[in-house]
């Protein structure tokens, strides 16, 4: 949003990232799976969506309300479900500080039914996802203007994408990880603060593959949430300042092709997620709703959580059919949840 200060017991292999920040122009090794065959479709996180399953309507009703679990946070974003521990992680961003007005961020942990604690202090994070093996937290980190990974076991931080051609990103916002470890992320300027613009006024989408950072699209105005279809063939990106969700054709090697409009959106698209039937869930700060679309772009319904500032969503719980929603006004952001009919992505 423009005003934001913005599994797993999974089969797969480790995210190969450098243990230290890399020199300018370099990128850490890509999170790559060494398994020749990986259970589940290529776009979905490993082990989350069974191949060949069929599903009915994802929503119990066309209009739903998600009850609040707890509020009182500053500004929640980027929920991600970690099935190994049975908990949800979220970024909690505070107001900008220091000479560059950079927003601090803390990763909070929610363990059902009602326990909240601090998982990583000073994380500098916004959007979160999991590595292909479920052992690392891949984070859009605006504090260092890069994409990072945090080892879940000891919280050690490493670098996934340090820069693009030696130039600092604006403020990476959200991430999606393909089952083979290819990382896609958005780079608006919401959390850049007073730091110099090294992207020549452009806000973009990037990909990390084979250890290299490449440009997907630099024609979007404030790209925000980002998600992959379960079959790995479509990348969805919400352009906040255009009120559009775009979709891109994705090739088997992870490269991205033609762009088209998925839906014309009202209210500024923020974060999103996907269920195992390919339905798309996208949040809106403007109307505080989660808008639910079929894979063809037909609106299926809405989910309300709070009265303002809905920011992001993720599926979780033992069967991954609980949709967690981060939402609320600045200074009283909260976590909400609602039960749905179809399992989905943990981020």
Give the Cα separation of 309 and 51 in Å (integer).
Answer: 35
Give the count of beta carbons closer than 10 Å to the beta carbon of residue 98: 10
Parallel, antiparallel or unpaired: strands 289-293 and 212-220: unpaired
CA atoms within 13 A on the CB side of 310: 29
In three-state secondary structure terms, 303 is strand
Give CA separation, 286 vs 1, 3, 269, in Å.
9, 11, 8
Average pLDDT estimate for 268-289: 94
* pLDDT tier for residue 46 given thresholds of 50, 70 and 90: confident
**pLDDT range class, residue 40, cuts 50, 70, 90:** low
Helices (H), the chain: none
What average pLDDT does the segment 311-330 reach?
96
Among 278, 207, 265, which residue's Cα sits nearest to residue 239?
A: 265
**pLDDT of amino acid 330:** 93
Give tens-digit pLDDT for 74-122: 999 999 999 999 999 999 999 999 999 999 999 999 999 999 999 999 9
Q: Give me the phi and psi of 36, to 5 degrees please.
A: -70, -35
Side by side, which strands form the sheet with 299-304?
63-65, 299-304, 289-293, 280-284, 269-274
Mean pLDDT, range 151-159, rounded to an integer = 97
Q: Please tell me whether residue 28 adopts helix, strand or coil conformation.
A: coil
Q: Which residues contact 57 (CB under 8 A, 6 or more apart)?
A: 300, 341
Do residues 343 and 321 touch, judged by C-beta distance below 8 A? Answer: yes
Q: Of the ranges 183-187, 217-221, 263-267, which one carries the lowest mean pLDDT score?
A: 263-267
DSSP result, 100-118: TTBPPEEEEEEETTTEEEE
pLDDT at 21: 36
């Amino acid at each position: 949003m423009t005003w934001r200060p913005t599994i797993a017991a999974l089969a797969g292999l480790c995210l190969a990232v450098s243990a230290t920040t890399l020199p300018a122009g370099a990128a850490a090794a890509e999170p790559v799976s060494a398994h020749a065959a990986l259970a589940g479709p290529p776009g979905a996180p490993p082990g989350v969506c069974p191949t060949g399953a069929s599903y009915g309507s994802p929503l119990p009703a066309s209009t739903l309300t998600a009850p609040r679990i707890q509020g009182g946070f500053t500004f929640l974003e980027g929920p991600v479900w970690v099935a190994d521990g049975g908990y949800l992680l979220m970024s909690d961003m505070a107001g900008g500080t220091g000479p560059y007005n950079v927003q601090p961020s803390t990763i909070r942990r929610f363990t059902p039914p009602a326990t909240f604690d601090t998982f990583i202090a000073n994380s500098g994070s916004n959007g979160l996802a999991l590595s292909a093996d479920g052992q690392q937290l891949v984070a859009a980190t605006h504090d260092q203007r890069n994409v990072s990974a945090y080892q879940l076991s000891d919280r050690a931080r490493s670098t996934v994408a340090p820069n693009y051609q030696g130039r600092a990103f604006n403020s990476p916002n959200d991430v999606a990880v393909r089952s083979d470890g290819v990382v896609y992320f958005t780079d608006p300027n919401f959390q850049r603060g007073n730091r110099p613009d090294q992207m020549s006024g452009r806000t973009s989408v990037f990909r990390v593959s084979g250890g290299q950072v490449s440009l997907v699209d630099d024609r979007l105005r404030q790209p925000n949430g980002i998600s992959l279809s379960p079959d790995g063939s479509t990348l969805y990106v919400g352009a906040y300042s255009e009120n559009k969700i775009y979709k891109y054709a994705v090739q088997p090697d992870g490269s991205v092709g033609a762009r088209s409009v998925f839906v014309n959106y009202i209210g500024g698209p923020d974060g999103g997620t996907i269920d195992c039937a390919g339905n798309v869930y996208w949040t809106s700060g403007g109307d505080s709703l989660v808008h639910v679309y079929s894979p063809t772009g037909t609106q299926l319904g809405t989910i309300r959580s709070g009265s303002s500032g809905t920011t992001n969503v993720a599926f979780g719980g033992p069967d991954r059919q609980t949709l967690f929603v981060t939402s609320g006004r600045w200074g009283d952001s909260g976590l909400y949840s609602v039960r749905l009919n179809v399992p989905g992505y943990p981020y």
